[in-house]
Structure 1
Amino acid sequence: MVSTRVIPNNSSALLSPPPLVIFKFPVGLDLPQGPPEGSLFASSFNFLMDIRVPVTIATLYATVVHVLNRSRGPGTHPARFARTTLFRYLVVAHNLFLCVYSAWTCVGMTASIARTIIETSRASSRGSSSFWRGLCALNGGIWDNGLSYYGFLFYLSKFYEVIDTAIILAKGKKSSVLQTYHHAGAMLSMWAGIRFASPPIWIFVVFNSLIHTLMYFYYTLSGLHIKVPKAVKRALTTAQICQFVIGGSLAVAHFFVYYFDPAQGEYTSCLSNPGQTFAVFFNVLYLAPLTYLFVGFWIESYLGRKIGSAGEKAPGAKQT
């Protein structure tokens, strides 16, 4: 279902109220085209896009963390293995892997977006509209030219990232509300964006992979006992918060964007079906309390004012 609105062809207006049809509940929508055939995990796309997969894993993750948190008191000691040199090397390897992977995703996704926009601009005389057509169109847009691949792998990486929590628990510490909510919500948010091929999910992939590149580089240095100035830690946490505010605002802006579709000869809403709309709403609702928790963590960590249980003393509230 594609929502269109006729706008004079000589008009430069690309902002208009969203069509009401996209606000229905997303039921009966087909899966989008998955990653290129033969690429990593491409054959598992249909299975991994089943809503039961992220819901089950997120629920099990949150439940196990809650149970283990209750068993921990002030005198809880690190696990024996967590006190070994091998454990420290494994933690460094984990952080370095996520740093390199995040950088690969950020560079690859950014290059795909740039390439798509250039291609659509060359094929159209409507400069600003071709820019948005590259970002919004399912066929010939960034979904076909990289987002279905990088975005799907990024969704899978959210399951792997729970190892951050395992590291904290192995050290005898509790996983904060921020930590648990962050990981569980990210699984579901990325699922929604990829399952419904929602155009604004490119923001999550690009912004989050950039922040994670810097954050896991910091954790790698910390694991190697290389001292990092507190100003750098504070800047990383601030960047996290800016990512949520700016990214969420950009995602909502997609509601009002129309791009010119040459095939139909009229302007088309960037969000073309209820599933894409649902993904935006879900992500924004996830980001609101997450931003609050991060702001509380920032205040407690860098101003010394306790306003609640924020998390571990690290830039992303993940590891120490």
Structure 2
Amino acid sequence: MDALKNLSTKYLNLNFDDDRHIFHNTDHWAIAPQPKGILYPEYYDILVNWRTPLTVAALYVLMVVLLNPKEGKVSRVVAADNAQQELSQSSPFMTTLVFVHNAILCIYSGWTFYGMFFAWKEVFTTHSFMDAVCDTDGTFWGTLGFYSYYFYLSKYYEILDTIIILLKGRRSSLLQTYHHAGAIITMYLGYNYRAHPIWIFTTFNSFVHTIMYAYYAATSVGLKPPGKKYLTSMQITQFWTGSALALWYEIGAPEGCFSNPGSRFAIWANLSYVFPLTFLFLAFARKMYGDRGKKTKVINKTAQFKKEN
């Protein structure tokens, strides 16, 4: 263990003597203070220790590698889209678990977006546009830090998405695994280093997740709401839009708007994570709604013809 620690210190510059600063010689990087009014504040120091997100993300990836089936079952939605006659039936317990899980994330995401929306409304009412966007007096961080902290914690809970997939005998894709592991780490960095642009992640993602998890809650009980492909489009749009805004903070914002080196590191880390994620989503969209989508239409028409004749 000591040998591994020494190697990590030497080659990765990891700072094992500090719980909040990941790297050596970064003590001057500003870190987020504990938000007021959070639940279970006695666990705060453990949850914001840099070892926690890295360890959980690593264990999550290891779990997927060890438990991922070689050939997974097809989801109910995909099976229905392909007009397969025999759909896999979930047990009442699994159906309830999936519905409750998605409902919780839908309600939580809606609560987060609601809070962020009215926080922005208030700050734009009391500040100029640039002062609000740059949070020049630091007043917005009180609200942003509160919601961002919980949003960071929600990324741990979202691991249940993958656990449910594995319990159903389906494979966790590279997109799924990369998405959840990376979200834990990047959201931690954004919160821990008090990166004001993390509002982009918190606001946009909570809006999309409110709709997405409402959709999945509905499909878990056999409903078939339309617009699945638009969920993917919304996710891709939030990545492109969010990346453009984050880049503005990094290279286009006026002097003094965004200068904390820790915050800059956190946002560059987020951008490095989002770019591959976007292309994974684009590949998923092409697979689901490109050639496969055309094939599905043919299958559906054939099934309808057989049914009528």
What TM-score, normalized to structure 1? 0.75
Q: CA distance change for structure 1 residues 45 and 155 in 2, over 3 Å: closer, same or farther?
A: same
For 1:51 and 1:241, the matched residues in 2 are separated by 29
Deviation string 1:116-162 (CA, Å, 9 cap, x unpaired) is 22122xxxxxxxxx322223236443212x11100100000000001
C-alpha contact (below 8 Å) 1:26/1:278 kept by paired residues: no
Letter matched to residue 237 of structure 1: T
- Checking the alignment, whether the CA contact within 8 Å between 1:134 and 1:140 is kept in structure 2 is no
- Aligned to 2:31, the other structure's residue is in SS state coil
| Higher normalized contact order (CA 8 Å, seq sep 6+, divided by chain length) | 1
Aligned identity (percent) is: 40
Deviation by residue 1:83-116 (Cα, 9 ceiling, x = unmatched) = 4202211110110110010000001011112112
Distance (Å, rounded) in 1 between the aligned partners of 2:44 and 2:114 = 23
Instruction: Specify the alignment match of 2:180 in structure 1.
Output: 183
Tell whether the 8 Å contact from 2:148 to 2:191 is kept in structure 1 after alignment. yes
Instruction: Give yes or no for the alignment of 1:115 onto 2:122.
Output: yes
Quick one: distance in 2 between partners of 1:65 and 1:100? 27
Name the CA distance, whole Å, in 1 between partners of 2:73 and 2:232.
Answer: 29
Deviations 1:5-48 (A, max 9, x none): xxxxxxxxxxxxxxxxxxx9971134322211x42244433332
* Conserved? CA contact 2:195–2:266, under 8 Å: yes
Label 1:87 to 1:74 Cα distance change in 2 as closer, same or farther (>3 A).
closer
Taking structure 2 as the reference length, what is the TM-score of the superposition?
Answer: 0.78
Query: How many residues are paired up?
Result: 255
Q: 1:216: which partner in 2? A: 213
Match of residue 246 from structure 1: 241
Change (3 A) 1:238 1:26: farther
Cα distance, 1:304–1:61 mapped onto 2, change above 3 Å? same
- Residue number in structure 2 paired with 1:55: 54
Deviates more, 1:133-142 or 1:178-187: 133-142
For residue 305 of structure 1, report the CA deviation from its aligned partner: 5.5
Between 1:220-229 and 1:130-139, the stretch displaced more is 130-139
Match of 2:100 among 84, 93, 97: 93
1:137 corresponding residue in structure 2: 135
* Counterparts of 1:245 and 1:171, CA distance in 2: 32
* Counterpart-to-counterpart distance in 1, 2:54 and 2:110: 27
Q: Secondary structure at the match of 1:271?
A: coil
Q: Any gaps of 5 or more consecutive residues in structure 2?
A: 1-22, 75-88, 294-309
1:151-230 alignment, distance < 5 Å: 151-229=148-226
Structure 1: tracts of 5 or more residues without a match = 1-23, 77-81, 121-129, 259-267, 307-320
Aligned residue for 2:35?
Answer: 35
Measure, in 2, the Cα distance between the counterparts of 1:41 and 1:51.
19
Q: Deviation of residue 281 (structure 1)? A: 0.4
List structure 1 segments (4+ residues) > 6 angstroms apart after TM superposition: none
Contact 1:196 1:279 in 2 (8 A): yes
- Taking only aligned residues, the RMSD between alpha carbons, in angstroms, comes to 2.2
